[in-house]
Amino acid sequence: MFWDKKTETMKGEQLQELQLRRLKQTIHQSQKVGFYRQHLSEAHVRQEDIRTLSDIEKIPFTRKQDLMGGYPFGFLAVPLNNVVRIHTTSGTTGKPTVVGYTKKDLDTWSDLIARNMTMVGVTKDDVFQNMVNYGMFTGGLGFHYGAEKIGMTVIPSATGNTKRQIEMIKDFGVTTIHCTPGYAMHLSEVAEEMHASLDSLKTGIFGAEPWSETMRHSLEERLGVTAYDSYGLSELFGPGVAFECPERDGLHIWHDAYLVEIINPKTGEQLSDGERGELVVTPLVKEAMPLLRYRTGDITMAMEDGCLCTRGRKIARITGRSDDMLVIRGINVFPSQIEHVLLKIPEVGNQFMVYVDRVNHLDEMTVDVEINRDYFSGELFDLSRIQKKVVKELMDALELRTTVRLVEPGSLPRFEGKAKRVIDRRGDTI
């Protein structure tokens, strides 16, 4: 099924013409942002130098760190009174990355989500339970408005209270769910314990964290759904950037809205089809916050053309990151954020180690931190207080509950050169 068949299946010259026209518009829009005026002038690129799509290589990349420099509104190309919504996503330091949307942006975005959901066969007859965070995270409101646009019956259940979520699925006859794959697994286990039937379910949309084919089989078996992978990032609106079709062999990225490059993350050179590298995207339809050659940090590859569904070329499922970003329960975490939090707490040292495990299908993050010698009173109570303080500060900064272990001063490894502070023990399987 198609939401917008003409656009979704557009290929060849027609698509390239559209992309080039929109690329030029985007570059024009970007020149309303101080950073991009400087960015292009420093690279000695004028707007008129971009005559073909391949001319995009003349433009330097935009990195997440660049966005930090513009906090809070430095990357807006429109006046704030034309911005109708703000979302944020994890930054690499203490400040989050801010993303703004105009009314038109929200319309474009929900349209992309509507395409995705229609592509996997859900319609206005479906009942949709959206079990992700509805706050600053783009996954909640993003899917919400896309599903409403289709005319689905939307249940904005958000996260938490798994038993209640299961009751609603049962009582409201929910057919379609959206959540992280880890939470879906947890949900299936709680349902089993409750002896609750989830018979009404037929479609599971899972995203915000990488998941394996083994996980897919397991989720489909346990929940009785067909499971689809959803990809997006807040800087590119949020979810809806790329999505699996019923073939479930790679994700369709919307070429009318996103100009895709795959690069070697070390050299920045473009890679050919079938070569794994970092996904670089120039969004072609963003109004409030245009970006040029944005480095997503996600590792994938361009797949060959010719999907049976007749839509455009796909990218492979994401297999990792080119930087040290972690995805914990669907939340992006940079080790530098943890460092930033610890720097503000005098009772503990600045060295740390992070361990990531999967316990009952859910990610658990443990942070080891040294107690500061000068703050040891000899009392267990004071140590517990310090431990709780670190948990709270991390919670405030990361929006994630972590386990904090206080360790003896000087006991954590000191790194010369590149620090290896993260031990991810989740492995590849479920």
Partner 1 sequence: MDVKKYVIKQISIFSENRPGRLAAIAHALGEENVNILAFSIAEANGFGVVRALVDQPEKAYKKLSSIGFNVAFTDVIAVHMHDRPGGLYEIAKMLGDANINIEYSYAYSGKEGAVLILRVDQVVDAIEKISKSGATLIESSVFH
Give the residues lining the site for partner 1 (CB under 8 A): 371, 373, 376-381, 383-384, 387, 405-411
Distance CA 350, CA 416 (A): 15
Minimum Å gap between C-beta 413 and partner 1 is 14
Task: Using the minimum distance from each CB to partner 1, give the nearer residue, 13 or 374.
Answer: 374
Minimum Å gap between C-beta 328 and partner 1 is 20
Minimum Å gap between C-beta 380 and partner 1 is 5
Minimum Å gap between C-beta 425 and partner 1 is 17
Q: Which of 238, 5, 8 is nearest to 106 (CA)?
A: 238
The answer to whether 164 and 137 have CB atoms below 8 angstroms apart is no
Task: Using the minimum distance from each CB to partner 1, give the nearer residue, 12 or 378.
Answer: 378
Minimum Å gap between C-beta 388 and partner 1 is 9
Task: Using the minimum distance from each CB to partner 1, give the nearer residue, 119 or 345.
Answer: 345
Task: Using the minimum distance from each CB to partner 1, give the nearer residue, 308 or 380.
Answer: 380
The answer to whether 271 and 292 have CB atoms below 8 angstroms apart is no
Minimum Å gap between C-beta 363 and partner 1 is 19
Give the list of residues 6+ apart from residue 76 with CB closer than 8 angstroms, or none: 33, 83, 100, 288, 289
Task: Using the minimum distance from each CB to partner 1, give the nearer residue, 362 or 406.
Answer: 406
Q: Which of 250, 253, 188, 279 is nearest to 225 (CA)?
A: 188
Q: Angle 162-172/181-194 helices, nearest 10 degrees?
A: 80
Minimum Å gap between C-beta 253 and partner 1 is 44
Minimum Å gap between C-beta 355 and partner 1 is 12
Structural element, H or E, at residue 101 = strand 97-102
Task: Using the minimum distance from each CB to partner 1, give the nearer residue, 131 or 353.
Answer: 353
Give the other-Cβ count within 10 Å of 86's Cβ.
15
SS3 143: helix
Task: Using the minimum distance from each CB to partner 1, give the nearer residue, 4 or 364.
Answer: 364
Distance CA 62, CA 284 (A): 15
**What torsion, rounded to 10 degrees, do the Cα atoms 189, 191, 197, 198 define?**
-80
Q: Per the structure block, which two tokens stand in for 262?
A: 């795959």
Which region holds residue 153: left if phi is over 0, alpha if psi is between -120 and 50, else beta? beta
Q: For residue 81, with 0-12 CB atoms within 10 Å meaning exposed, 13-18 middle and 19 or more buried, which class applies?
A: exposed
Task: Using the minimum distance from each CB to partner 1, give the nearer residue, 16 or 403.
Answer: 403
Minimum Å gap between C-beta 374 and partner 1 is 9
Q: For residue 289, with 0-12 CB atoms within 10 Å meaning exposed, 13-18 middle and 19 or more buried, which class applies?
A: buried
**What torsion, rounded to 10 degrees, do the Cα atoms 177, 156, 317, 237 define?**
150
Task: Using the minimum distance from each CB to partner 1, give the nearer residue, 136 or 407.
Answer: 407
Minimum Å gap between C-beta 358 and partner 1 is 20
- Rg of the chain on CA atoms, in Å: 22
Distance CA 70, CA 67 (A): 5
Task: Using the minimum distance from each CB to partner 1, give the nearer residue, 171 or 379.
Answer: 379
Strand ranges (E), 112-225: 127-130, 153-155, 176-179, 203-207
